[in-house]
Each structure stands twice: as C-alpha cells, then as structure tokens.
Amino acid sequence: MVHMTLSDTQLSRPRPQKLFHPVEEPLSTFPIQSVRIDWDRLIAKRPTVLQTIDTMPAYLIKPEVLTLLEAEKHPTYRLILDLMWTTGARISEILALTPSSFIDDGYDFGVILKTLKQRPGRPSKASIQRSPKRYVPIVDFALQDRIQSYLYARRFRKTERIFPMARQTVNRHITALVERVGGSPFAISAHTFRHSFAIHLLLHGRPLKYVSQLLGHKSIDSTEIYTNVLTIDGGHFLEGVDFH
C-alpha cells in the first residue's frame, strides 16, 4: 500500500460526502460490534484495583476523560489531550509529531508514532531518528477534521514539530485543568491518558495483542497489567456457590 503525506491542498479539501443521500452506516468486521459498560460501577471498583494491584497505574474512565476534554478550551492543549486519549501515545511521542506524521491514503486516516520512552523535556533529534515506528488509526471524523484544520491554520513546515513544548509544560497544564474541574483522588499526568486508552480498548473486547502493538510495547507482558480492570470485578463467579 502506498501512503501519502498530507499536503496543504489535501488539508483544505474536506472528505467527500453525499449531500443528497443518507450516510450509510459503516460496516464493522470485528466480531464485537457493541458493548454495554457500566461506567459508574467501573469508577466505584477502581480504588480496589489500585489498592490490591501493586503495579497498577492510575487510570481514567471515558466519562472522566470527556469531562477534561470538554473543559479544555485551548486548541493546542485540547488537541494534545485528544491525541493521547485516542492513540495511547506517550507524551514524548506526541511532542515529536510533525505534519508528515499524519497519513491519509484515501481509505484510512492515522498517525505514525515514533516509539519514544518517557524522558524529561522534548525528545532529541537523535532519539527520534533511531526510534521504531508504529501506525495508529484515527477513526473519529471530528478529530480528523480538528487535526487537519489545526495543521492548515498554523502552516507548519513538513518536518516542523507541531507542539514545540516540554513534557513538564503539558503536565503542569493537565494539573491545572484537573484542579479547575474539581480535583482528583490521585495524580493525573499525560501518561494517565495512555493507561486510560489501553483500558478503554480492553473494556471493548479488543485483543490484548493488538492493544500491545498500538502501545508500542516490546512484550505483551507489559500490556497484561491492564487486564486487572476486567478481572477485579469477579463476584459473579461466586454466585450460586453456597457456603452455609
């Protein structure tokens, strides 16, 4: 498959739509097409998960993430949060993005992430050049439009970083945002969005191997920690087992 990077003309051209015909429902080829999730129950169970699993990182549930996104009015930080939430990228990987990182081949829209470990400050050019790459689809049309509009309005050079800031700057902004919406019982950083992304996919029944690939983990063992969110709520397994 041949991939094309986004040019200015492509950024300004809206995706084709049928003006006088109803939009057809997209076909889903994945076996699990819909799930019902009790968000309140998951939030209530989270303290138990964090208290009983020593290596379990703090995470957010979809309604909490949406609250933060809706409260974020700065277009640059809103896009950073959206990208972390929908791609599971590390903040260092987000800060390394350039206009050429985004791919639209006419069928799918996505981003090529350079797998970078968490380090202070902005990623160095040397670390970016030697890092392996991975492709993450972006299927949300509203986010696609926001990315294209942002790149078109800012007129970045092809290889220019679109977020010229340090990781600490983003984390300070997230801390202030969390305080603005009422605070949190645990610390929330940019990396929290990565953990939340992984758990969100597993809650929707996506294969662990695929989630691991999207996260850029070398081993699936690193991804298995997130499955504790699925297994901690196991009281139903004891239903029907009489002890007295």
Tens-place pLDDT, residues 73-111: 999 999 999 999 999 999 999 999 999 999 999 899 999
What's the confidence (pLDDT) of residue 22? 57
Phi and psi torsions of 136, nearest 5° = -125, 120
Q: Which two tokens stand for residue 240?
A: 């029907």
What's the confidence (pLDDT) of residue 212? 96
What's the confidence (pLDDT) of residue 31? 76
Residue 9: which pLDDT band, with cuts at 50, 70 and 90?
Answer: very low
Q: Which residues contact 35 (CB under 8 A, 6 or more apart)?
A: 203, 204, 205
The separation between the first and the last C-alpha atoms of the chain, rounded to the nearest angstrom, is 64
Q: Which two tokens stand for residue 210?
A: 């695929």
Helix, strand and coil percent figures for the chain, each rounded to 5: 50, 5, 45
Q: Which residues contact 197 (CB under 8 A, 6 or more apart)?
A: 84, 85, 86, 87, 88, 215
Residue ranges and CATH numbers for the domains of the chain are 38-233 (1.10.443.10)
Length of the chain, in residues? 244
Which range has the worst mean pLDDT, 15-19, 57-61, 169-173, 208-212? 15-19
DSSP assignment letter at 204: T
What's the confidence (pLDDT) of residue 122? 54
Residue 170: which pLDDT band, with cuts at 50, 70 and 90?
Answer: very high
Instruction: Give start and end residues of each alpha helix (H) in 57-189.
Output: 62-71, 75-87, 91-95, 125-130, 141-154, 167-180
What's the confidence (pLDDT) of residue 182? 95
